[in-house]
Amino acid sequence: MPTPLITGKPLAFVDIETNGGSVSDGKITEIAIICYDGTTVSTFTSLINPESSVPAYIQQLTGISNDMLKNAPVFAEVAETIRQKLDGHIFVAHNVRFDYSFIKNAFKRLNIVFKAPLLCTVKLSRKLYPQYQRHGLDQLIQRHQLQISARHRAYDDAHAIMQFWQIIERTSTPEHLAKAVKNTMFSPSLPAHIDAEIIESIPNTFGVYLFYGENNLPIYIGKSNRLRQRILSHFSSDYALPKEMSISMQIKRIEHIVCAGEVDALLTESRLIKERMPTMNRQLRRNKSVFSWLLNESQPGLWIPSLVSGQDVELGVNPHLYGLYETANDARTALRKIIKEEKLCSQTLGLEKGKPGTPCFARQLKKCNGACVGVETHSEHSKRLVTAMAKQHIRPWPYKGISLLREGTVTHVIHQWCYLGTAHNQDELHTILQSGKGDFSRDTYRILLKHHHKLIPLDNHELCLN
């Protein structure tokens, strides 16, 4: 009769190797399952043909070549065996969300729903050995002198975590181990290095959260009006979304900042992303260059676009600016798209060379309405251009000077769509007002434009925050 386990259920120690793809489209190349009921051990291991080529660097890491996989079974051929081996067992793995997610998605492709209770040995090691900073499998192998002959092969890695379990079974008191297992399994969707207590301490209010990875470097910064709920959502969907799985695998620490409201959260998020440059925030990362199209009336009724940078003109002041682009190439691509869709004339706009009165290239293809040859007047052509670009018009700053945007107990100071700072009291307000003009930012402009109805012009005679 098997020895009763502290978990109450038999354990299945699992490890997989993959072709290096993302969790949503990556494939398993090897699987090992070691079932343990306290006394007896049974093993299943198999190479799996991913039906695609494995990159050279993955072959080098695992030692599993494309030739080895050529005649291996595909997942569908071993799916039922895998399901039976895992049935009724606690699914145990190192960084369990990774292995579980790949197996869950492999079953999903066969229209099979797979679920299992999860136990992560990274979390378990952190609970039982808090004096150590690192809990990767290499550290566990060295720390506990686990026997392993082929690192990054599925059976050897699965056998290593089974050895780790047997060691903590022998060296921990039943009460201590039971508590650690219970705490670890209570929050199976949380990443290995994030404790449930950390999540519970985060309020469900407006704020910004910062995810840190190895070497205390920020990997992602986000904002929400329900902080705790949003943070948890990253981890509950990690098995299906590559970005969320990448966050779950890298995250080591969470910080949060409570904000006064939506604008405060948006501005704080934008500022921190530009300051900290997290690896997974691409859209809001710092870009000092801003380009726009300036429409000039070159002759009565004829408006011509010229490309300008934010350093050449006062964005938010000049009333004839259209579009905010990171690069000059982005700006040109956007204008070419408008010209093509509206059958405007590149020659009339000065973007294509040609003699006055001669048809442009697009006109010869019947893709221009004919401003170049007088079929359309300059005034009509310009009107269509302005109408087509209207959605990208940069709204001029509607006030003579500085405006305030109040949220709860804080006041944001804004001038010409530039964020100057946030004041919590009268002294901070005066300091911000004396600090000078801020830099124009695409992200800040869009945030403030959406909330412009909340702006209050500052009366120089009434600088009181009350």
Residue 113 exposure: Cα atoms within 13 Å on the Cβ side: 0
Higher pLDDT, 47 or 195: 47
pLDDT at 46: 98
Residue 256 has pLDDT above 50, yes or no: yes
Query: Residue range 148-172: average pLDDT?
Result: 95
Give the count of beta carbons closer than 10 Å to the beta carbon of residue 8.
Answer: 9
**What is the longest distance spanned by two Cα atoms in the chain?**
98
For a pLDDT cut of 90, what percent of the chain falls above it? 82
Examine the pLDDT at 6 and tell me if it is beyond 50. yes
Q: Determine contact, residues 251/95, Cβ cutoff 8 Å.
A: no
Instruction: Please name the residue that has the structure tokens 């720390």.
Output: 143
> Which residues contact residue 299 at a Cβ distance below 8 angstroms, ignoring those fewer than 6 apart?
378
How far is it, in rounded angstroms, from Cα 322 to Cα 324?
Answer: 7
Return the minimum-mean-pLDDT range out of 39-53, 177-191, 204-218, 221-235. 177-191
What's the pLDDT score for residue 313? 85
What integer pLDDT is reported at residue 311 of this predicted model? 82
Burial 297-330 (b: 16+ CB within 10 A, else e): eeeeebbbbebbebeeeebbeeebbbbbbeeeee
pLDDT average, residue stretch 114-127: 95
Say whether 382 sits in a helix, a strand or coil.
helix
Strand ordering across the sheet containing 321-325: 302-309, 291-299, 321-325
Tokens 């020659």 correspond to: 347
Tell me what pLDDT residue 189 has: 82
Residue 271, pLDDT above cutoff 60: yes
Q: What is the pLDDT of residues 341-380, one digit of tens each?
A: 999 999 999 999 999 899 999 999 999 999 999 999 999 9
Q: What is the arithmetic mean of pLDDT over 173-199?
A: 89
Whether residue 251 contacts residue 211, with contact meaning beta carbons closer than 8 Å, is answered with yes
What's the confidence (pLDDT) of residue 460? Answer: 52
pLDDT for 373 = 97
Q: Are 304 and 298 in contact (CB under 8 A)?
A: yes
What is the rounded distance in angstroms from the CA atom of residue 294 to the CA atom of residue 318? 9
pLDDT recorded at residue 439: 85
pLDDT for the residue 289 = 82
This prediction's pTM? 0.78
Find tokens 């999903």 and name the residue. 108
Give start and end residues of each alpha helix (H) in 34-120. Answer: 56-62, 66-69, 75-86, 96-108
Query: Domains (ranges, CATH) in the chain?
Result: 11-186 (3.30.420.10), 196-276 (3.40.1440.10), 291-392 (no CATH), 403-457 (no CATH)
CA–CA–CA angle 83, 89, 94 (5° rounding): 95
Query: Cβ distance 301 to 379 under 8 Å?
Result: yes
Quick one: angle between helices 242-250 and 227-236, nearest 10?
100
Please indicate whether residue 266 or residue 237 has the higher confidence score (pLDDT). 266
Task: Say yes or no to pLDDT of 465 above 90.
Answer: no
Which of 56-60, 150-154, 457-461 has the weakest average pLDDT?
Answer: 457-461
Please compute the mean of the pLDDT values over residues 103-125 and round it to a whole number.
95
| Closest to 158 in 3D by CA, of 103, 88, 211 | 103
DSSP bridge pairs for 157: none
Q: Is the pLDDT of residue 1 over 50?
A: no
d(CA 110, CA 166): 35
Residue 287 has pLDDT above 80, yes or no: no
Average pLDDT over residues 228-256: 90
CA angle (181, 186, 190) in 5-degree steps: 105
What are the backbone dihedrals phi and psi of residue 308, each rounded to the nearest 5 degrees, phi first? -130, 155
Which is more confidently placed, 33 or 426? 33
Rounded CA separation 218/424 (Å): 27
The pLDDT tens digits for 215-238 are: 999 999 999 999 999 999 999 877
Cα distance between residue 105 and residue 139, in whole Å: 29
Assess whether pLDDT exceeds 60 at residue 333: yes
pLDDT digits (tens, 9 = 90+) for 15-28: 999 998 788 889 99
